[in-house]
Structure 1
């Protein structure tokens, strides 16, 4: 006899619940910066290295252009980024931080610590969890 699947035993539900809980912890901190969580992710990538091509940015974040374009449009309207067409290839659009976008980085520097404190895990435990989740993500991408 096969056991009936239970919600509390599903890895997918644990991941979903953890993701929602983490986003909820981020929300008030990000509201102070005027950012949504997806906008914060875009800014994180740009703070690491900019300019970034729109296609490159989408690949790094795992977002299609239909999702990324409105995010970029909103960040541009907020004065945090600029999209510029390449002089060499009109089809290529690069995303650049504005001075306001660059300065927001220092205001956001405490956000990872905020999540770590809320999680109640040590730095080593968080690093191990991140590594495990990256391995899981890679394996699941290969599986489909």
Structure 2
């Protein structure tokens, strides 16, 4: 790698960190943690259906199963999600968004739109091709 490769990589990481920090602040201002928002976002957008299992959430969040169980517990206590027994496999539990969770994820996602648009434009410019 040459100096320009390192500069691009450093800039990318700095912009990614700035995005994550701004996201953390937006979440906090809306009364939830960034991890809670990530889970709500995964439930709303990552799956083909309107719910996910704890195992699927663990994979999407890159977290341990027991950590996601605790996260679901906190979100359930706050009225954002609910657990339902799976209709297909009684050994599994489905995690569903409740109206409060839907409202939160919609509001916070909307607040991210301008920053995402800016990042998309910035990283679609010439010179941002993947490093060889």
Query: Secondary structure in 1 aligned to 2:83?
Result: strand
| CA 36–13 in structure 1, closer or farther in 2 if over 3 Å, else same | farther
1:47 aligns with 2:37: no
The equivalent residue for 1:57 is 57
| CA 39–12 in structure 1, closer or farther in 2 if over 3 Å, else same | farther
| CA 85–11 in structure 1, closer or farther in 2 if over 3 Å, else same | farther
Counting helix residues as a fraction of each chain, which structure ranks higher?
1
Query: Secondary structure in 1 aligned to 2:84?
Result: strand
Count of aligned pairs: 122
The 8 Å contact of residues 23 and 112 in structure 2, kept in 1 or not, is answered as no
Could you tell me how far 1:50 is from its partner in structure 2? 1.6
Identify unmatched segments of 5+ residues in structure 1. Answer: 1-8, 137-144
Could you tell me how far 1:66 is from its partner in structure 2? 2.3
Larger RCO (CA under 8 A, 6+ residues apart)? 2
The equivalent residue for 1:113 is 113
The equivalent residue for 1:72 is 72
RMSD of Structure 2 on Structure 1 (CA):
3.2
Query: How far apart, CA to CA, are the structure 2 residues paired with 1:122 and 1:97?
Result: 28
